[in-house]
Structures are given as structure tokens and as C-alpha cells.
Structure 1
Amino acid sequence: MTHVTYLLGAGASAQSKLPINKDLIKALESIVYESQFIKDSIDGDRYTKTIQSTYSKVIQDAKKEKSIDTLANIHFGNNNYLHDIKSLLWIYFSANAGKDELDPRYKHLLLRFRDKVSKTFKLRDDFSVLTWNYDLQLEEAYASIAGLELWKTPLHLKSYPGLYFLKKDTFNDNIDSKQVQLIHLNGCAGYYYDSEIRDYKNWYNSDLTNPQEYCNMARLVGQKFHTNAPSKTAIHNCINFAGEENQLNETKKDLVKLISKKTTHLVIIGYSFQDFNENMDTFIIENMENLRYIMIQDKYPEKIEELLRNKYPVLHSKI
């Protein structure tokens, strides 16, 4: 019996319009810069003023490091600063989700593993995805094929942490963990915890060049994401770096372990195994006790192969 798992990095979304590396920093900067042009007459303007004051330092530091991921790794012990990085990432990727700007390869991937027996669109049980990406490209592809609203896809695709945010109170009781097929290792965009009503909600597809929509975003972030408490339950949006210690990550590791253990074939797309992800990458590889074969789909596959051979000698015969 075989089980195919895809491990995705930023290169897997390369054909979408979403930026990476320096281009991502520029995109995040544009969000902060836009706050200067919101007029005082618009309701909610007091929240827009905090966007620049809160996130300008993140942009300045990210430019210096030339990577938002490196910046997060450097400041990993600073909960308040890390919170600001996550919130800014969440704003960008949430606002740009649901705009039908898909990397077409995601649809091809899902259609390849569709359950042809089912009368409605669903995926085969022998297929899983572990992704380091914050974007909702896979969810958007699934929603497009199945004719669903984007925010509902975790209920059908069984993705994490989206499914947890939609079904938190009953997640452990009613969700068969073996059914989870997509895990965002660093969390994802689109969902957040409303600290006023103490419930989870969704937000995506927003034109932040529109003053009113920008104000709505600023108000949401200002009202809902104001608490930076480092407790295990302090999950304010679903960007959640793999090395953080909280309930969301404890559950994530359990789910990753289940997928890893049943994986027989691993396909790596657009991922270069960065050092700051090493603990989770090692956890994934070490739990793939039934792994038979690795396929690398990358612009420079020989570099990824060499890296894997050096880091994980146990994989020599499987690449």
C-alpha cells in the first residue's frame, strides 16, 4: 500500500502572483506605506495610524536581513515582535487570498489525486500535503474545482490549522486526525481569533488600495490582535511558526507524525530545507519509517539532493 506526500516550499507557488523573498518585503512595505494616504474623515482612521507606527520597524529590519523568515528566526524569543511579524504576514496573504490568482499547477495536482469513485469532488485517502507556505493556493484550487466558498474548504479538504479554527471546540472529539490531508507547517492566512466574542472567524480577499477596505483591515487588526500574551492559548491569527510552543503546534506535530509515518513516496517541490526549519524537517524525515522513494521537483534538483544526502544519510538509497 502506498501513500504519497508532497512537501512544498515557496517555489510551489512560483506561478501565482504572490511574491517571495525581497519582493515579499516590498509587498509588506506597501501595506504599511498605504496607511499614510488614508484621510482623517474616514471612520476608523485612528487604527490606520497605528499600522505605520507598529510595522515600520518590521519592514526596516526585514530589509536589513533581506528575508522575513530570517528576521522571524532572529527574534524568535521576542513574543511581541514576533506577533507583529505574524500579523503583517497574515494581513498580506489574507488580503490576497480568494482573488483567483492561482498557480495552475495546484489544480493539476488535486485533479491527479481526486477520488474518481466519489460523486462529488474529494481527494483520495493516499494523498497528503505538508506545506511551508502561508498562502491559501491549495485551498483556492480545491474551492474552485468543488464549487465551494474559500473559507469552507478546510471542512472538505481537512486542512490544518484552518479546520481547527473552524471547529476548535469539537476538533479533538469529532475530527478523525487520520483524515487531515493538508498541514500548513508555519500556519496560514485567512483565519483569526476574535478576542471580543471569543470565537474564530475568517477574513480574506480585500483591496487594500481602497481606503474603506484598508480602514476595515486596520480596525480588525487593531481590535482583535492587541493581546501579545505568550500563553499556550494566545493564538490570534493562524500564522504560527513551527518552533513556537502552543496548543496549535502541539496538535500540528501529532498530525505531521501521522502523515509522515504512512508516507511511502515523498515529492519535494520548491523547497530548499532552510536551517531555521531544521527541527521540523528532521521531525518529518525521522518519522517517515515507511519511506521508499523521494522525487525532487525543483529548478536545481541536484542541489536539493546533495543537501538531503548530507543532512540525512538514511535517505541515500531513496533519492
Structure 2
Amino acid sequence: MTKITYLLGAGSSYNACPIWNLQAKAMVSLGQQELTKHYIENISKNNPPTDWLSKEAQKYITTDKQKILKEILHFGKKAQEFNTIDTYARKLFLQEKNKELELLKMSVSVFFDLWENYNKQLNFYPRSNSSDKSDKSWDKIDQRYIALFSIFLEKKNENLLLNDDINFITWNYDLQLESTYNLFANDSSDPDFNLIDAVFPFLEKSNTNLNNKVFHLNGHRGFALSRSEKPMVLRNNETIENYWKLHEKLYSNLKTGTQTFNHHIKYGWEHNIESEWFKQIGMILKQSDILIIIGYSFPLFNRKIDQFLFSHLHPNKIKEIVYQDPYSDEEKILNLFKYPDRYKNKIKLLKEVDQFHIPHSHFIDLPKATPFIIR
């Protein structure tokens, strides 16, 4: 069977999540909207602060919820200044500003929790605000994931499992892949991601018995780690009110060190590429017949990790490298190889992004059905 690996960038979630500068704008919009709403509902209907980051406004920010929203606003502004939140995170990492970096990680995780679960309720960044001027609303799950999983999921021993020959490596914080699996496997709109990990493994683990189907290179939303190193799922319990109630001490716990986001939002350049986790990623790429890159721009600060990934593509094994992106460029890929001529004729560029690419060879490799003979 053909072994297929998908490498996903922000553009793969374009229809469901704001990407790049839109993420920064949405973070700012969320912080301003919700802090102003709290002020009007609880303090005064008149003259709410126009700058929630000003010294004067801080006397109105007293609860953990408000403090988290202020941090989301703050880091949204920094993302606008530095073009992306990842770039600003890189700055903090290089300056060893670890406490601020962890606040950033908390803000990113909570922002995507709120976005993927409550955006329709909060409506803090309508799609019409984005540069494409689309009248289409944001998808809860990008429909392209749903179409892809309808092909790749299989029923085995009463479990719904991803085809053995399919793997995902993603730079995205979102849980679009995991939520898509839940859509097919369960009826619950409040997925328990720990249970999902048992059959659709995506959490980073330190042991040698890794069986991940998804590898999040920058980590992902939805989890924090307690002092006892027990993962805590940030549950999305139906309403935004319940979400905040369940996590009412999140900011305080982060400050006291009883909870941390450092394990679950973990940038590629923070990883030890000698770890078992990265060795498993390397093995998957080494065994890949086809690599499909979707919506990834190859930013320079990820270059070290990207070179690691592409160094594991065996020139005699890899048959095709598909780059699916409106701005796909062969040179971005060739520049990652030590010997680019070995791969040049294997690269295929796709500008059309309405559906995720599925190689024709996957359908050729499918077991043939027993012919039905009419007698």
C-alpha cells in the first residue's frame, strides 16, 4: 500500500480558523469585545475604557477571566506588530523571557479553545471582516477535513481508525483533525480528547512505544499540565459561561506554577530533535511514498525543523511531493534538500485548494471488491 504523509500549515484550516494576521486581529477583537462587555454589564454602561492595556484600565481587570482576556488582547497586538504570534514567541524564546512566553502559550491555547467552540456564540470576528470579504461564515470544522476523513477512516474491531498508511504532521495549534475524527466516531459535541487520543493518537509522549497518527509540531490547544504532570483537558462544556467557570483559576494557577502550558503549546524550535517523538516523525517520513504539503508557507524561523523533516525523505522511496497552496513554489521545497536534484522531478504544485489532495494511487491500492454476478 502507498504510505501517505500530510504536512499541514495554517492554510489547511483556512475555512475554520483565522490565520496569520487574521489570527492577530481576532485575538485583539476578542479581548476588546469581552472586556468591554464585562465593564458594561458589571460596572457602568457609560464610558468603558477604549484602551484596555492602559494603566488606567487595569483597576477594572480583577478576575482570572479578565486577566486572560487582557493577555489575549496584549499578544494579539504583539502578533500584529511582529506579523505573526509565532514570530513574537520566537523573540521571547531568544530573550529567555520564559514567564511571558508561558502567558503567550496560555493565551494561544485559550483563544483557540474559544474560537473552535464558541465563535458563533461570541461572534468576535465575523468572516466578513477578513481580507477575502467573503459572505461565508466560518466553518466549525473545515469541510475539507471532513471529506478527507470520509475516505481515510475504516472500521476495525468495532473501532473507527485512520487507515494504517496515512499520517499527519501539522504546525497548527487547532484540533481540527481531532474534532473531525470525533465527528465521525462520536455523537458528542463536547469531545473528551483524552479518549480520542486512545484510538486516534495525537498527544506528544516521551516513551518509545509511540503510535501517533498526528504530530503537532507547535503543540495544540485544549490541554494544560498540572504540577503532578497529569494532563488536564480544558473541557468545552456547551456554553461559554461553563467554560469560564470550569477554568476560573487558570490564570492564578499559571502564576503559582500549579499548571503549565509548556508541554502542550511547544514550538518546533523548543523541541529536542533527538527525542523519541522526533525519531518517530523521521521514521514516518522515511517510509513515506507520497508527501502532501497543504497551506504551509515555510517561514524562516521553522527552517531547522523543516530541514530535519525533509532530510528523512528517502530519494529512492519517495515517489511524489505534492505542494498544495495558492502560492506554492518549487524553490521553497528544493531549498530544504542537501541534494535537490534528487527530488526535483518528484515535486508537483497544486494551486487549487477547494479540496485536500488525495493521490490516485490510494484508490488503486484499495482492496478490490468481490464481483457481483447476476445469474
TM-score range (shorter-chain normalised) is 0.7 to 0.9
Structure 2 residue matching 1:102: 3-state secondary structure:
coil
From 138, 150, 154, the counterpart of 2:197: 154
Distance 1:228 1:278, change over 3 A: farther
Identify if the C-alpha distance between structure 1 residues 237 and 36 changes in structure 2 by more than 3 Å, giving closer, same or farther: farther
Between 1 and 2, higher relative CO (CA 8 Å, sep ≥ 6) is seen in 1
Residue 172 of structure 1 corresponds to: 207
Give distance in 2, aligned partners of 1:279 and 1:109: 29
Residue 178 of structure 2 aligns with an amino acid whose one-letter code is E
The 3 A distance-change label for structure 1 pair 88 and 286 is same
- Larger radius of gyration, structure 1 or 2? 2
Q: State the Cα distance separating 1:293 from its structure 2 match.
A: 1.3
1:200 to 217, 231, 243: 231
Taking the aligned partners of 1:15 and 1:111, their CA distance within structure 2 comes to: 18
Q: Secondary structure at the match of 2:343?
A: helix
CA distance in 2, matches of 1:217, 1:240: 24
Deviation at 1:93, TM superposition (A): 1.0
Deviation of the 1:246 alpha carbon: 6.6
> Helix, strand or coil: the match of 1:189?
coil
- TM-score, normalisation: structure 1: 0.81
1:69-113: per-residue Cα shift (whole Å, max 9, x none)?
221222222222221221111001122335671111112212222
Report if the CA contact (8 A) 1:183-1:256 is conserved. Answer: yes
Cα distance in 2 for residues equivalent to 1:257 and 1:182: 13
Alignment of structure 1 residues 70-149 onto 2, 5 Å? 70-77=87-94, 78-98=97-117, 101-115=140-154, 119-147=158-186
2: distance between equivalents of 1:275 and 1:296? Answer: 17
Give me the whole-angstrom Cα distance separating, in 2, the residues matched to 1:224 and 1:236. Answer: 13
The reply to whether residue 30 of structure 1 matches residue 39 of structure 2 is no
Q: Which moved more, 1:69-78 or 1:84-93?
A: 69-78
C-alpha distance after superposition, 1:148-185 (max 9, x if no partner): 65222111111133xx4xxxxxx727xx32x2111111
Sort the Cα spacing of 1:41 and 1:155 in 2 relative to 1 into closer, same or farther, 3 A. Answer: same
Alignment partner, residue 258 of structure 1 = 283
Identity of aligned residues (%): 28
When structure 1 is superposed on structure 2, of 56-65 and 45-54 the one drifting more is 45-54
Q: Does 1:315 align with 2:358?
A: no
Secondary structure of 2:164's counterpart equals coil
TM-score w.r.t. length of structure 2: 0.70
Structure 1 residue 123 displacement after superposition: 1.3
Equivalent residues in 2 for 1:232-311, closer than 5 Å: 235-236=261-262, 238-245=264-271, 250-289=275-314, 290-301=317-328, 303=329, 305-311=330-336
Give unmatched runs, 5+ long, in structure 2: 44-60, 119-138, 348-375
Query: What is the 5 A alignment of 1:5-44?
Result: 5-16=5-16, 18-33=17-32, 34-38=34-38
Higher helix share: 1
CA-based RMSD of the aligned residues comes to 3.2
